[in-house]
Amino acid sequence: MKWLYFFMAGPQTIGPPKVPRPDSAGRRVQRYWERLTEGANLDQLWKQFSADARQSYALYSREVDWESIQAKSRWKRALHASGAVFQSMLMKLSPARRVLLLVSLVLLIYPLPAMLLTDHWLAETAVAKLFVLGASLLFVLLALELADRVTMKRDLEIAREIQHWLLPEQPPTVPGAQIAFASRPANTVAGDYYDVLPRAARDGKERWLIVVADVAGKSIPAALLMATFQASLHTLVGASDSLLDLVIGLNGYACAHSQGGRRFTTAFFAEYEPQTRSLTYINAGHNAPVLKRKSGQFEYLKATGLPLGIAMEASGPSSYAAQICQLDSGDTLVIFTDGLVEAVNAQGTEYGDDRLLAALQFPIRETAALMLERLFAEVNRFVGETHQQDDITCVVFQSV
């Protein structure tokens, strides 16, 4: 049987084990390139760079007085526009770094004529030392800015983790309903909020609270206000007898922290009773959710009051009107923030309500999770590589 074993195992090598060859220089360069690009190809890298460049240019150019530049002659416009954008970039730095940038640019530009007209300038002329010094100062400035960015990015990552703790990871099990939700921040942290909470049973009836909110603004300021909104909501949800009492309490708290109405919050609140399929809702200045009936018809749950934090006098019982909507099996409610319909593509065109309705007219019956996934895919396809301008949140509530 030995001959059969050797026949099946194949030829055997007798001798010491082979020592692996050291990697060639080309292989090391390839591995370093893959690590540097994280597996992205040149087309993906160029699209990412283009998106970053457009976003940065929009940041710097928004402080430029373009009307005065347009009044200049044709040949002076480019010069004044470049100078204005550079000035905007310069003022984003600290005073010490502004001086460092200007000195480094002077040291880089001043030696150029002599370097171009002198042979062997690198070894024999003193102007080369000025050029090297300017390049070194520019590198130091880059290192300082990069250190700040890394520190800020680490802090933002921690803030994002904390924000994830405030939002539900999985939808709860609600009798007679399917729920799916997702949120995609424009930056590391977001000002959107969503939740589905059980309410204290009254008259032996089970109730669930559905909330979607959007704090005015983006990034860290909006995220901090979103955290205070979440804390106040969870505090008041158990102490409020009705949906109206809850909204009035939240508005009073929001007015105390909205900086005179500048940091307001739009929100949609709904209380669902599984036994009767009744939905009581209050829309505080939020985008009107779309209710798709089983028949294919659409209804809008429009605003019934002002956004939270606008006016303290809006905390009266008559300021937020509660509406009742009766759901049937097969009806689907889509609640979203304005970042969904205001998403723009490279041509500056918004996704819009019409495209949203067209996406919801999908002829095949879907689960809540599949509908949510398809909606985000439709928005991604429309936007393409354009940088996201606002936070996008969507909750799909389906009566089954």
Are 370 and 253 in the same domain? Answer: yes
Task: Indicate whether 253 and 323 sit together in one domain.
Answer: yes
What is the residue-wise DSSP string for 97-119? HHHHHHHHHHHHHTTHHHHHHST
Q: Are strands 265-273 and 298-300 parallel, antiparallel or unpaired?
A: unpaired
Mean confidence (pLDDT) of the chain: 84
Same domain, 147 and 196: no
Is residue 7 domain-resident? Answer: no
Mean pLDDT computed over 82-100: 88
With respect to residue 250, please indicate whether it lies within any of the assigned structural domains. Answer: yes
Q: Which of 55-59, 129-133, 149-153, 243-247 has the highest average model confidence (pLDDT)?
A: 243-247
240 and 192, same structural domain? Answer: yes
396 compared with 202, residue with greater pLDDT: 396
Residues 237 and 298 in one domain: yes
- Number of domains present in the structure of the chain: 2
The continuous run of DSSP H or E covering 371 comes out as helix 368-383
Same structural domain for residues 50 and 70?
yes
Which of 131, 162, 193 is the last residue in one of the domains? 162
Lowest mean pLDDT among 194-198, 330-334, 342-346: 342-346
**Is residue 230, in this structure, part of any structural domain at all?**
yes
Distance CA 212, CA 338 (A): 11
Q: Does residue 267 sit in the same domain as residue 351?
A: yes
Q: Does 122 have pLDDT greater than 60?
A: no
Q: Are residues 230 and 149 in the same domain?
A: no
| 400 or 257, which is more confident | 400
Q: Which helix (H) or strand (E) holds 8?
A: helix 2-9
CA pseudo-torsion sign 313, 225, 191, 199? negative
Last residue of a domain, one of 121, 139, 162: 162
Q: Among 162, 194, 210, which residue terminates a domain?
A: 162
pLDDT at 121 over 70: no
H/E element, 227: helix 219-236
By the 8 A CB rule, do 327 and 392 touch? Answer: no
Paired strand residues for 267: 213, 285
CA–CA distance, 282 with 280 (Å, rounded to integer): 7
Residue 127 amino acid letter: V
Q: Which residue in the block uniquely carries the two structure tokens 């939240």?
A: 250
Residue 25 counted as domain residue = no
Please give the pLDDT value at position 354.
93
User: How far is it, in rounded angstroms, from Cα 379 to Cα 374?
Assistant: 9
- pLDDT at site 7: 39
Contacts of 308 (CB under 8 A, 6+ apart): 213, 247, 250, 251, 254, 255, 258, 264, 265, 266, 267, 284, 285
| In a domain? residue 75 | yes
Whether residue 226 contacts residue 193, with contact meaning beta carbons closer than 8 Å, is answered with yes
Whether residue 350 is contained in a domain is answered as: yes
60-66: average pLDDT: 81
Tell me: do 144 and 177 sit in the same domain.
no
CATH number at residue 286: 3.60.40.10
Q: So what's the pLDDT on residue 317?
A: 54
- 3-state SS, residue 350: strand
> What is the mean predicted confidence (pLDDT) over 248-252?
90
* 19 within a domain of the structure (yes/no): no
Same domain assignment for residues 136 and 85: yes
Asked if 337 and 293 touch (Cβ cutoff 8 Å), the reply is no
**Mean pLDDT lowest among 19-23, 93-97, 106-110:** 19-23
**Is residue 8's pLDDT more than 50?**
no
Q: Which domain holds residue 122?
A: 41-162
- pLDDT tens digits along 45-54: 887 787 778 7
Strands 298-300, 332-336: parallel, antiparallel or unpaired by DSSP?
Answer: unpaired
d(CA 131, CA 369): 60
pLDDT of residue 16: 57
Say if CB 57 and CB 84 are below 8 A apart: no
For residues 47-72, give the mean pLDDT: 79
What's the rounded Cα separation, in Å, for the pair 254 and 126?
64
> Phi and psi at residue 196, in whole multiples of 5°?
-130, 115
Whether residue 371 is found in the same domain as residue 289: yes
State how far the Cα of 301 lies from the Cα of 268, in Å rounded to an integer. Answer: 9
What confidence score (pLDDT) does residue 5 get?
Answer: 41
Only one residue has tokens 């294919």, namely: 296
Q: Looking at the whole model, is its pTM more than 0.75? A: no
Q: Which amino acid is at 334?
A: V
Beta strands in the chain, from DSSP E residues, in sequence order: 177-184, 192-202, 205-215, 265-273, 278-284, 290-292, 298-300, 323-326, 332-336, 392-399
CA distance 361 to 337: 20
Q: Read out DSSP for 284-345?
A: EBPPPPEEE-TTS-EEE----BPPBTS-GGGGSTTTS--EEEE--TT-EEEEE-HHHHT-B-
Q: Hey, which of 38-42, 50-54, 126-130, 164-168 has the most confident mean pLDDT?
A: 164-168
**Percent of the chain clearing pLDDT 90 (strictly above):** 40
One domain, residues 375 and 284: yes
- Has residue 116 got a pLDDT over 70? no
Side-chain-side CA neighbours of 364 within 13 Å: the count stands at 5
